[in-house]
Chains A and B, each alone.
Chain A
Amino acid sequence: AQTVTQSQPEMSVQEAETVTLSCTYDTSESDYYLFWYKQPPSRQMILVIRQEAYKQQNATENRFSVNFQKAAKSFSLKISDSQLGDAAMYFCAYRRENNQGGKLIFGQGTELSVKP
Chain B
Amino acid sequence: DGGITQSPKYLFRKEGQNVTLSCEQNLNHDAMYWYRQDPGQGLRLIYYSQIVNDFQKGDIAEGYSVSREKKESFPLTVTSAQKNPTAFYLCASSMRTGGPMNTEAFFGQGTRLTVV
CB within 8 Å of B: which residues of A? 6, 9, 33, 35, 42-45, 47, 50, 52, 91, 93, 95, 97-101, 103-109
> Is B105 interfacial (CB 8 A cutoff)?
yes
> Is B5 interfacial (CB 8 A cutoff)?
no
> Is B109 interfacial (CB 8 A cutoff)?
yes
Bound-state CA distance A107–B35 (Å) is 12
The smallest beta-carbon distance between B107 and chain A, in angstroms, is 4
Chain A residue contacts of B103, Cβ below 8 A? 33, 35, 50, 95, 97
Chain B residue contacts of A44, Cβ below 8 A? 107, 109-110
Interface of A is mostly: loop
CB <8 Å contact, A101 and B31: yes
- The A-contacting residues of B in range 78-116, CB under 8 angstroms, are 88, 90, 92, 94, 96-97, 100, 103-105, 107, 109-110
CB <8 Å contact, B104 and A50: yes
CB <8 Å contact, A105 and B45: yes
Chain A residue contacts of B100, Cβ below 8 A? 33, 50, 52
What per-residue 1/0 map shows which CB atoms of B13-45 lie under 8 Å from chain A?
000000000000000001101010000111111
A-B residue pairs in contact (CB < 8 Å), sample of 18: A33-B100, A35-B104, A44-B107, A45-B90, A47-B104, A50-B104, A91-B42, A91-B43, A100-B50, A101-B31, A103-B33, A103-B45, A104-B45, A104-B48, A104-B92, A104-B105, A106-B42, A109-B43
CB within 8 Å of A: which residues of B? 30-31, 33, 35, 40-45, 48, 50, 56, 58, 88, 90, 92, 94, 96-97, 100, 103-105, 107, 109-110
CB <8 Å contact, B40 and A108: yes
Given contacts A6-B42, A43-B88, A108-B42, contact A101 B30 (CB under 8 A): yes
Bound-state CA distance A93–B35 (Å) is 13
The smallest beta-carbon distance between B50 and chain A, in angstroms, is 5
Bound-state CA distance A91–B40 (Å) is 12
Chain A residue contacts of B35, Cβ below 8 A? 106
Closest to A105 in B: B45
Bound-state CA distance A41–B56 (Å) is 30
Closest to A99 in B: B97
CB <8 Å contact, A9 and B40: yes
